[in-house]
Structure 1
Amino acid sequence: MILHHPTNMSLMDISKIFSLLQPKEDEEDGSQQLNQAIADDNDKLLSELLAKEQYRKCINSRSGWGIPGTPLRMAASQGHLRCLEVLLAHGAEVDSLDVKAQTPLFTAVSAKHLDCVIALLKAGADPNGSQYNNSSPVLTAAREGDVDILRELLRYGAEVDVRAKVPDWASNATACRGPLYMSAVYGHLDCFKLLLLHGANPDYNCTEEKLLARIKQPKTVLEMCLRYGCGVEYVELLIDFGASVYLPSLIIDKTTQQNEAVMMLLKERVCPKTLMSQTRLAIWRYLTVANKVRSVDSLDIPQMLKNYLKHIT
């Protein structure tokens, strides 16, 4: 009726429809009591409430001020692990969405609650968050420099080259700026290296050729590191992980000639890599994209060589 006869609807009809979308009064009351127990971090009271059918049916109801969400979202946002575990044990939907299409995992990542992140991932939460949200847990962790949270997300199979979701017509150079770029410009070297170890594209941090083709002058991660003065460590890692040293366009003048990172890049353009570096890069490219670190650990080679492949000095 809504789709085929919109012109015949009265204001009263619309009001009735919206009233049906609102939670019932008993559900609203039940959700409030659940949320209050979570706010007080009272897992014992929460267990007692969820033992009753009238509260169990509210476990996935969205309520609350600000951003209405489920009780699980509230527990994740406040870092109340025991309450979160009680909710999961009673069948809370692990990937339930709030009105901003954010999952409880995304909320826990944003609030930097590592223990809640681990619990949600173990319970089967999608490490990539919701496809309807324009950001992702990995992008958030990389931007904030939460290397421990980022490690857990990648360990559970999160997409390493994820990017912010924008409409095709709005695609521009920023659409190529994924977690690797974010960790560089915000100065999070540990996250930067971790992403490369898990197979991040060292050039454009983007794997969509159609997207790159639509952008007039896409900037490589290497070029952005030079532009933002990220430091020689970032440039060295990109080169070691196989970034093309010929892609960035450089304008060498008196202000940049003494820049160590630029000089390193120019040197790489005229000097071939050592055989050891080329071998490491060849092995690295051969390994499965997902869980490269785990693939290295499974190789039947001395630990010293494993450390070399993982860039551990």
Structure 2
Amino acid sequence: MALGQAVDMSLMDISKIFSLLQPKEEDEDGELCQALNKAVSSDDVALLTELLAQEEYRRRINARSGWGVPVTPLRTAAALGHLRCLELLLEHGAEVDVLDVKAQTPLFTAVSGKHLDCVVALLKAGADPNGSQYNNCSPVLTAAREGDVEVLRELLRFGAEVDVRPKVPDWASNATTCRGPLYISAVYGHLDCFKLLLFHGANPDYNCTDEKMLARIKQPKTVLEVCLRYGCGVEYIQLLIDFGADVCLPTLIIDKTTKQNEALLLLLKARVCPRTLMSQARLAIRKGLPFANKDSAIDSLNIPLILRSYLKHHTAELG
């Protein structure tokens, strides 16, 4: 009997908890908000258009509704990839960077769901490509981890920070907190993302520009070391060399955890063979170009086509 009472009490407690998670709105407001979210959830563009034609619904376009974790209609559209609903909401004044309880923006949700068309629409509407300052993660980190190169390309095109890192308090800083998108794309084996990040100016050494944080870490690992340790292959090592990584910086420990000899030999060769003048000139020119859309900037230069291709890393070393 006592056991049965305990079970009943547990069920009652759970019911109370869930009831507390329900939104505390007036009945009428709640019904209006839920109607908007329901139209978006079912991707009913005609119904959403009809609702937004009415002032009472437009006034509640940024209101949250739903069970458990209430969300706005725009967040719902971004999460489900319902582009036309998302565009309608934006056209009627939906707040583009509204936060949910996890401090995630609709853009972050669209990136997580790999909804490229929604990502582009939100960025064009003025969404912050870096997401929320209150969220530990960011759209760029998420795209790099998932290997979604097209989403990553759009984020960088709209000015997202290429060397962004997880947002943690200073006292919690450690080796993990300096692992930016370049590091993550290498560890997960996303070569296209790795290359794209370097093209947009990612730091090829530590993938971190916070010198104070690096100083707090006893033995920060360079991207070269990480690539060797995780067996990323010669393509990653060659790209880091081409994009100016300091080949003398990493302290190499040759042991059974260093998985690939070919990549290691390539790095050791780079240590004894200085970069050519052409290679150094390419690094200097690319560094002086605008941070994003470097290819467009290169195309505007009044130089021969073969030199433009070289600056874009489309050709090998020129003779």
TM-score, length of structure 2 as denominator length: 0.88
- Residue of structure 1 aligned with 2:202, choices 191, 200, 203: 200
CA contact (8 A) 2:231 2:259 kept: no
Deviation at 1:67, TM superposition (A): 3.2
Deviation at 1:257, TM superposition (A): 9.9
Closer/same/farther in 2, CA of residues 66 and 224 from structure 1, 3 Å limit:
farther
CA contact (8 A) 2:233 2:260 kept: no
State the one-letter code of the partner of 2:50: E
Unmatched segments (≥5 aa) in structure 1: 1-17
Deviation at 1:288, TM superposition (A): 3.0
Measured in 2, the distance between the counterparts of 1:166 and 1:182 equals 17
| Structure-2 residue corresponding to 1:9 | none
Alignment of 1:31-50 (within 5 A): 31-50=33-52
Q: How many residues align?
A: 295
Deviation at 1:66, TM superposition (A): 4.2
State the one-letter code of the partner of 2:270: E
| Structure-1 residue corresponding to 2:105 | 103
Unmatched segments (≥5 aa) in structure 2: 1-19
Deviation at 1:253, TM superposition (A): 5.1
Alignment of 1:128-139 (within 5 A): 128-139=130-141
State the one-letter code of the partner of 1:299: L
Measured in 1, the distance between the counterparts of 2:255 and 2:211 equals 33
Measured in 2, the distance between the counterparts of 1:254 and 1:38 equals 54
TM-score, length of structure 1 as denominator length: 0.90
CA contact (8 A) 1:114 1:149 kept: yes
Paired-residue identity, %: 75
CA contact (8 A) 2:229 2:259 kept: no
| Structure-1 residue corresponding to 2:226 | 224
CA contact (8 A) 1:257 1:263 kept: no
| Structure-1 residue corresponding to 2:16 | none
- Residue of structure 2 aligned with 1:186, choices 185, 188, 200: 188
RMSD: 1.9
Deviation at 1:37, TM superposition (A): 0.7
After superposition, give the CA deviation of every residue in 1:130-164 in whole Å (9 maximum; x if it has no partner).
11111100000010011000000000000000001
- Residue of structure 2 aligned with 1:153, choices 138, 152, 155: 155
Measured in 2, the distance between the counterparts of 1:253 and 1:106 equals 40
| Structure-2 residue corresponding to 1:287 | 289
Closer/same/farther in 2, CA of residues 249 and 77 from structure 1, 3 Å limit:
same
| Structure-1 residue corresponding to 2:25 | 23
- Residue of structure 2 aligned with 1:299, choices 298, 301, 305: 301
Alignment of 1:69-148 (within 5 A): 69-148=71-150
Deviation at 1:62, TM superposition (A): 1.3
